[in-house]
Structure 1
Amino acid sequence: METKNMELMYQQIANYLVDMIPEEWDKIYLYAEYREGYKKVFFYYYPENKSKPIYSLDIIDIFNIDEDDFDRLENELYSCLTNLWLEFSKQEQESWSHLTYILDSNGKMKINYGYDDLSEISPVEKQEKWESEYIK
C-alpha cells in the first residue's frame, strides 16, 4: 500500500481546517460521510482555554471573516476528503462510508474510519449520534 498520498491528504485536511479557524484552538473533531451521490462534512473545534466547542457552520456568524474565502476553503476541504475516499479504491482498500478526523493543536491526528451503510439514517440522527460520542 502506498501511504505517501494518504499522508499528504491527511496533512492537507489539517491545513484547510487550520485556515478555516480564525482563532487559537486546542482540538478539532471533523465528521465526513461519503457515498456515491452524497457528501457531508462538518467539524467542531475547541477554542484555546475554553470548554465550549464551536460548530463549523457558526464560524462565519461569530467572526468577521470573508464568507467567500471561508466557502473556498470549505470546498477545498470537501475536495481533499473526496480524494482521500477515492484513494482507498486506488489502493484496493475497502472504501469508508464515514470518518472522524481528530486533530490536536500539537499536530497529533487520529482517524477513525466507519464502513456501515448509513444511507437509511437521517442526517440529523447521524449528526446527533456522532456529537454524543465525540463532542462533550
Structure 2
Amino acid sequence: MTIKLFQKIYEKLNVYLPEEWEKIVYYAYYPTDDSYDMKFYVNVDQKYKSCFDYINHYKIADLFSDIDDLIYPIRETMNDKWTIMTITVEKNGKFKTDYVYDRINETEFFKKWESQYLK
C-alpha cells in the first residue's frame, strides 16, 4: 500500500467530514477477496461518531464502493494480503496505518478494535 493510495482514500472521506473534525479512524475488512466491510469514525469534541451519523446510507455504499475500487487492484497484487486495514488521520496531517493478516471473527475482533482505536 502506498501513501498515494492513503491520500486518495482520505480525499474520498474528506468530502463528508464535518468542519470541526479532529481525527478520523477508517476501517476496511476483507473477509474474502470478493467481499468487504468498511466504516469510519470521526472524532469531534473528544467523541467519536460513526460515518452513519453523517452520511445517507446510499451515499455511504457509493463511497465505500469507490474506495474499494482504489484498494482492490493493489491488494490483489499482494502476496501476503491483509484482512483488516486501519488508517488514522489527525487534522494536523499525522497519519498511521495498521494491518491485520490473520483470518478473524469480525464480531469478536471489532470489540477489541473499538477499544484500541476509539478511546
Q: TM-score normalised to the size of structure 2?
A: 0.82
Letter in 2 for 1:117: R
Matched, 1:87 2:74: yes
The alignment covers a number of residue pairs equal to: 118
Looking at secondary structure, tell me which structure has more helix per residue.
1
Residues 85 and 109 of structure 1: is their aligned pair in 2 closer, same or farther, counting only changes over 3 Å?
farther
| The structure with more strand, counted as a fraction of residues | 2
- C-alpha distance in 1 between matches for 2:89 and 2:58: 21
Cα offset for 1:75? 2.2
Out of 104-113 and 74-83, give the one that drifted further. Answer: 74-83
**What SS does the corresponding residue of 1:132 show, helix, strand or coil?**
helix
Residue 86 of structure 1: how far off its partner (Å) = 2.9
Unaligned runs of 5+ residues in structure 2 are none
Q: 1:71 to 1:7 in 2, by over 3 A?
A: farther
Deviation at residue 39 of structure 1 after TM alignment: 0.7
RMSD, aligned α-carbons: 2.2
Q: Match for 2:19 among 13, 23, 29?
A: 23
Match of 2:112 in 1: 129
Q: Any conservation in 1 of the 2:12–2:67 contact (CA below 8 Å)?
A: no
Does the 8 Å contact 1:16/1:77 carry over to 2?
Answer: no
Identity %: 28
TM-score by length of 1: 0.73
Equivalent AA in structure 1 for residue 113 of structure 2: W
